[in-house]
Structure 1
Amino acid sequence: MFNLLKSGGILMIPILICGLLATYIIIERLVYFASIQKKDRELRKNLEEVLAGGDFSSAEAFCIQAGTPLSQVVRKALGCRKLTEDDMREIVQCEIDAVAPQFDHWLTLLSTIANISTLLGLFGTVTGNIKAFGVLGSGGTMGNPAVLASSISEALMTTAAGLFVAIPSLIFSNALSRKADKCVSEMEGTVTKLILRLTGRVM
């Protein structure tokens, strides 16, 4: 393993760092989404039960216990339930806009890592080929075969390593971004139903 990294040259270090960062972000986001989905399912179930009886204090307690973006928005809606529907919607929408970035946390960096890894691999290809042509230019027809092989190996290793990091990073970046959008959409739907219930339009 060390020999493979060594054969790729100095550019393998930033590529390796990108790979470690991408792995951390992917695992952290997967755990995060799994956690909030479980908590939000329980929150919706609990809210359905207590709001049917008009128990707003218990509803707020369940929101505090959940500690998810959805619970923050629901708590804000409960806190302004005595306002007009238009005012309530405006306040709730501001709260949704405030908590929505929690779903996208790290995802911009993950997308950037995918792009950087590709470019680092390409850069390694270019520098490796420059070295290879330098060997050919300074040593006759074939130059030094060992140095030539080392330069070609560097070009191929950095390309392969860059793509190895970039491809899964890009896949998970897109998948997690869609997941974040879905969470925001579900949150908006839940809060809309809550507002209709609080304003007496839906029982």
Structure 2
Amino acid sequence: MFQILKNGGILMIPIIACGLLVVFIVAERLHYFFTVKKREETFSEDIDQALRNGNYAVAENICNNAGTPCASVVKDAINCRGLKEEDLKEYVQTKMDLAVPRFEHLLSALGTISNVATLLGLLGTVTGNIKAFGVLGNGGTMGDPALLASSIGEALVTTVAGLVVAIPAIIFHSYFNSLVNHSIKRMELTVTRVVFRLTGKEL
């Protein structure tokens, strides 16, 4: 394995670094979304029951215990329940817009890394082929077979390594984007229900 990585040349260093970053981001985001989902399993029902009974202090405690972006927006809505309905809706919408980046954290970096890893693999392919043609040019028709094999190996290894990093990154980037969209829709539904409760309406 070490020999294969060595054959890839110096470009294997940034490709490996990209791979480590992908592993970190994927692990962090999986843990985050799993934690948020677990904390919000009964949040919507609990907060609705508390508001139905007019227990605002209990509702705030439920939000504090959940500690999710949705819970943060709901808590802000409860604290500003004295506002006019239009003002409350505008305030809540602003808070939801500010909460969205918490779901999207590190996803732009993941998308960038997938592109960079692909380009690094392509760069390794180009530099490897340049070296191979250089060997052929300096040694007649065949050149030095060992140097030629080394140059071709560099081109192939970096290409494979770049794709090995980029493909999972692209897959997880799409997966996390779907989780973000689902989380935003779930938050909008919960917050809308809360606003209706606070304004004395039924959803």
Tell me the CA shift for residue 181 of structure 1.
1.6
Tell me the CA shift for residue 140 of structure 1.
0.7
Equivalent position of 1:113 in the other structure: 113
1:145 counterpart = 2:145: yes
Q: Deviations over 1:108-142 (max 9, x none)?
A: 00000000000000000000000000000000111
* SS of structure 2 residue aligned to 1:103: helix
Q: AA paired with 2:20?
A: L
Tell me the CA shift for residue 49 of structure 1.
2.5
Q: Deviations over 1:7-53 (max 9, x none)?
A: 10000000000000001101110110010011112322321322221
Equivalent position of 1:13 in the other structure: 13
Q: AA paired with 1:172?
A: F
Any residues of structure 2 matched to 1:12-31 within 5 Å, and which?
Answer: 12-31=12-31
Quote the Cα distance in structure 1 between the aligned partners of 2:44 and 2:82.
21
Tell me the CA shift for residue 148 of structure 1.
0.1
TM normalised by structure 2 equals: 0.98
Tell me the CA shift for residue 99 of structure 1.
1.1
Tell me the CA shift for residue 165 of structure 1.
0.2
Q: AA paired with 1:101?
A: P
Quote the Cα distance in structure 2 between the aligned partners of 1:3 and 1:85.
67
Any residues of structure 2 matched to 1:33-182 within 5 Å, and which?
Answer: 33-182=33-182
Contact 2:48 2:194 in 1 (8 A): no
Quote the Cα distance in structure 1 between the aligned partners of 2:168 and 2:17.
15
Q: Which runs of 5+ in 1 are unaligned?
A: none
Q: Equivalent pairs: percent with the same residue?
A: 52
* SS of structure 2 residue aligned to 1:41: coil
* SS of structure 2 residue aligned to 1:5: helix
* SS of structure 1 residue aligned to 2:42: helix
Any residues of structure 2 matched to 1:174-193 within 5 Å, and which?
Answer: 174-193=174-193
Q: Deviations over 1:116-173 (max 9, x none)?
A: 0000000000000000000000001110000000000000000000000000101101
TM normalised by structure 1 equals: 0.98
- Greater shift, 179-188 or 108-117, is seen at 179-188
Quote the Cα distance in structure 1 between the aligned partners of 2:52 and 2:4.
63
Quote the Cα distance in structure 2 between the aligned partners of 1:57 and 1:143.
81
Q: AA paired with 1:104?
A: E
Q: Which runs of 5+ in 2 are unaligned?
A: none
Q: AA paired with 1:81?
A: R
Question: Moved runs in structure 1, 4+ residues, more than 2 A?
Answer: none
Contact 2:52 2:197 in 1 (8 A): no
CA RMSD of aligned residues (A): 1.0
Quote the Cα distance in structure 2 between the aligned partners of 1:155 and 1:78.
60
Quote the Cα distance in structure 2 between the aligned partners of 1:89 and 1:68.
20
